[in-house]
Amino acid sequence: MENVTEPENQKTEVDFNSAAVIENPFPFLATIRQSEPVHWNNSIKGWCITAYEDVCNSSTDRRFSAQRIQPFLDNQSAASDAELRELSAVYLLWLPFLDPPTHTRLRKLLLAGFTRRSIAHMEPKIVAIVKQLIGKIDDQDSMDMIEAFAAPLPSMVIADILGVPVEHVPLLKKWSDDISAFVLGSRLMENKYTIAAKATAQMKDYFSELIEARRSQPGDAILDDLIASHDGEDHLTIEELLSSCILLLFAGHETTSQLFGNGALALLQHTQQLEDLHANIDDKKIVANAIEEILRWNGPTLATVRVMSEAVELHNTTLEAGNRVHLFNAAANRDPRVFINPDKFDIRRKNANKQINFGYGIHLCLGAQLARMEANIAFPMLIEALKGWELADGRLEWLDTLINRGLKALPLRRR
């Protein structure tokens, strides 16, 4: 059971469940960062850490435990025992929710699949997928950029990595969407445990059959390398392999999709930056820096969550054992002590690569290299395709999760 005792000297109050914060959390995070570097928040019943240095230090401090799923599940009266067992069987084995030494061992085994060779092998396939998706929007006058491009691209890439037939991608995407409300901490969705447990069971069954088929007829997908890790001397258990397949599908689709959606929005909202990038689209260094700036300014990670394994004193404030802590990567990425004029979107920012949207320390995202590769290949092609397009009228809706930041839709129209 997590300790949620409210401290006496509460200064600032932000309702993280409010529509205003969901739509634009950055001013509220800036207020917290300036007034209370360690802020207790009633709406999420936990601590908020927002300064760049504090987020980095806490990310590498083992007293800030990543093993947050078990105490979270133990505290959920809304879920049935059967649902909790289904969720526990998978998510207690996810790499982001583990501490050393288990984390160290599992990450080493998973990295066997994510070698530079295996990632580089994906480049021509990514180019082909991007061309295919762009070809579908060439004769349209309006579209939802998320539906047409940002969501299907990473879904198709990760499906190829896992050896999933392309015709199964919509089904896997639906299962991924169904578990997102649970994993990413939806603030508003009802029945999220029931929906996530059902989708998790279906994904386990699917990957069990796929693994058996690939073991009989192996190919050159990253999944085949992971199966080899399962079959090796120091091996992934079948439970770890299944759990890792679900993680790779979910994370590879979810965050990269939001990177493309948030990035397209940022560029379309800042026409001078878009024109600069378009004029230098063949300069790989400028493109790479623009992607780092997108990640810094409005990337797919809002916060990472930790649970205190023991009491820690930080800025004259005691974080008690059992307390839940949100490390706000998004706030750290706009810390003026690190980034000059942090609320300005600038694709030529000299230290944009100091952003920590993919995490920091041992929990740096396993798929960060793949996500950057997808972005560096796809954004130049996408920007060429979006010449003559603009944002459609209407208010944009953001996903209501506390962990990730992404759009429900991004409506565009031809000028």
Label residue 331 exposed, middle or buried (CB < 10 Å: 0-12, 13-18, 19+): buried
| pLDDT at residue 4, rounded to an integer | 44
Residue 4 domain-assigned (yes or no): no
Going from the first residue of the chain to its last (415 residues), give the mean pLDDT of each consecutive group of 10, the final group possibly shorter. Answer: 44 86 95 94 94 97 89 62 76 89 88 69 91 91 95 90 86 84 62 83 91 86 77 76 86 88 97 96 97 97 95 96 96 98 98 96 88 95 92 92 92 94
Strands 46-49 and 324-327: parallel
| pLDDT at residue 5, rounded to an integer | 45
Q: And the tokens for 195?
A: 């929906």
Residue 1 domain-assigned (yes or no): no
| pLDDT at residue 170, rounded to an integer | 87
Query: CATH code at 400?
Result: 1.10.630.10
Residue 38 domain-assigned (yes or no): yes
Question: Residue 307: helix, strand or coil by DSSP?
Answer: strand
Residue 10 domain-assigned (yes or no): no
| pLDDT at residue 77, rounded to an integer | 56
| pLDDT at residue 7, rounded to an integer | 47
CB contact set of 347 (below 8 Å; sequence gap of 6+):
273, 276, 277, 286, 289, 290, 293
Residue 212 domain-assigned (yes or no): yes
Q: Which residues pair with 317 in a beta bridge?
A: 314
| pLDDT at residue 3, rounded to an integer | 42
Range of the domain at 48: 19-414
CA distances from 233 to 90, 139, 221, 411 (A): 23, 54, 21, 51
| pLDDT at residue 233, rounded to an integer | 66
Number of compact structural domains in the chain: 1
> What does the DSSP 8-state code read for residue 6?
P
Strands 312-314 and 317-319: antiparallel
Residue 228 domain-assigned (yes or no): yes
Distance, CA of 354 to CA of 20 (rounded, Å):
28
Label residue 22 exposed, middle or buried (CB < 10 Å: 0-12, 13-18, 19+): buried
Residue 7 domain-assigned (yes or no): no
Q: How many residues does the chain have?
A: 415
Residue 6 domain-assigned (yes or no): no
